[in-house]
């Protein structure tokens, strides 16, 4: 026979003390086992929100910029190889992906560009945002996750275009990175209230989105899909700027003879 009775429970759920009374039917002895557990709320490693916000102002490591630059140079090399006829086109369409079975093109299309202007317009924000993402949030935030988000943007975009419409370029990946940065900024810059953070993030996305949308032959749907996928990944896939401590469960038990 067992009965549970709380001895102390805080409304904040930071700590709780639970008593468990057990009765031994054989010897008619009653023992009380008091199990105390304390669960600490998940907090950033920084002691205060202001300290966490200051981390967004810390100098970025040089190697995060070097990594973004090396990635960009690889895109330049591959685009030039296609322009010179050394490699076949890496573009993707609904025809090539689903009918010809070349689904891998949703990845390779990110590395081919139409011309030098198209290439430069994509690489400038790519290097800048990549530098921020890797420098503050690690290599998963860049380049691992963005390349998959760019491929996902291409995949969903070709479903909405005619069968033979070809997609090329890194813009879907760039907008996915921008969406990730906007989401992570909203979650981490405690210097401002959340409404101001949202306004600043929207302004950042509009500044990036509007000039590219004025160009001809631009796949706006890829941009929009990339931004939405990136924002979703950033907001739900990452925590605070610093890793949360796993909730600690501290328990102790004592056996008390009840007379």
Q: Which CATH number does the domain housing residue 222 bear?
A: 1.20.1540.10
Model confidence band, residue 213 (pLDDT cutoffs 50, 70, 90) = low
- Give yes or no for residue 45 having a pLDDT over 50: no
Q: Give the total number of structural domains in the chain.
A: 2
- Give yes or no for residue 218 having a pLDDT over 60: yes
3-state DSSP helix/strand/coil % of the chain, to nearest 5? 55, 15, 30
Claim to verify: residue 87 and residue 185 sit in the same structural domain: yes
Asked which of 95-104, 156-165, 198-207, 232-241 is least confident by mean pLDDT, the reply is: 232-241
Claim to verify: residue 182 and residue 213 sit in the same structural domain: yes
Domain region containing 9: 2-42+245-257
Claim to verify: residue 100 and residue 125 sit in the same structural domain: yes
What pLDDT digit, counting tens, does each position of 63-119 carry? 889 999 999 999 999 999 999 999 999 999 999 999 999 999 999 999 999 999 889
Between strands 249-257 and 29-39, the pairing is antiparallel
Question: CA Rg, the chain, in Å?
Answer: 27
Claim to verify: residue 21 and residue 104 sit in the same structural domain: no
- Give yes or no for residue 32 having a pLDDT over 60: no
- Give yes or no for residue 206 having a pLDDT over 90: no
Claim to verify: residue 37 and residue 124 sit in the same structural domain: no
Claim to verify: residue 55 and residue 32 sit in the same structural domain: no
Claim to verify: residue 35 and residue 53 sit in the same structural domain: no
Claim to verify: residue 221 and residue 141 sit in the same structural domain: yes
Claim to verify: residue 162 and residue 140 sit in the same structural domain: yes
Claim to verify: residue 130 and residue 7 sit in the same structural domain: no
Claim to verify: residue 36 and residue 114 sit in the same structural domain: no
**In the prediction, which pLDDT does 237 show?**
75
The structure tokens listed for 42 are 């998940």
Claim to verify: residue 117 and residue 214 sit in the same structural domain: yes
Full-model pTM: 0.71
């Amino acid at each position: 026979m067992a009965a549970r009775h709380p001895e102390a429970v805080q409304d904040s759920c930071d700590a709780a003390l639970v008593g468990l009374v057990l009765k031994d039917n054989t010897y008619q002895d009653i023992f009380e086992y008091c199990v105390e557990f304390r669960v600490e709320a998940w907090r950033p490693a920084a002691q205060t929100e202001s300290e966490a916000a200051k981390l967004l102002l810390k100098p970025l490591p040089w190697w995060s910029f070097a990594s973004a630059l090396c990635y960009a140079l690889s895109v330049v090399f591959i685009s030039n190889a296609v322009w010179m006829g050394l490699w076949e086109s890496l573009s993707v369409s609904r025809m090539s992906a689903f009918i010809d079975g070349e689904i891998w093109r949703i990845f390779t299309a990110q590395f081919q560009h139409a011309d030098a202007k198209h290439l430069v317009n994509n690489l400038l924000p790519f290097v800048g945002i990549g530098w921020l993402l890797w420098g503050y949030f690690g290599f998963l935030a860049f380049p691992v996750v963005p390349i998959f988000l760019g491929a996902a943007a291409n995949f969903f975009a070709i479903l909405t275009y005619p069968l033979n419409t070809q997609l090329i370029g890194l813009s879907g990946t760039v907008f996915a990175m921008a969406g990730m940065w906007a989401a992570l900024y909203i979650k981490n810059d405690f210097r401002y209230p959340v409404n101001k953070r949202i306004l600043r993030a929207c302004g950042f996305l509009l500044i990036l989105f509007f000039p590219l949308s004025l160009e001809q032959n631009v796949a706006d749907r890829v941009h929009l899909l990339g931004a939405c996928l990136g924002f979703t990944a950033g907001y739900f896939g990452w925590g605070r700027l610093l890793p949360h401590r796993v909730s600690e469960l501290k328990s102790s038990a004592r056996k008390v003879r009840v007379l």
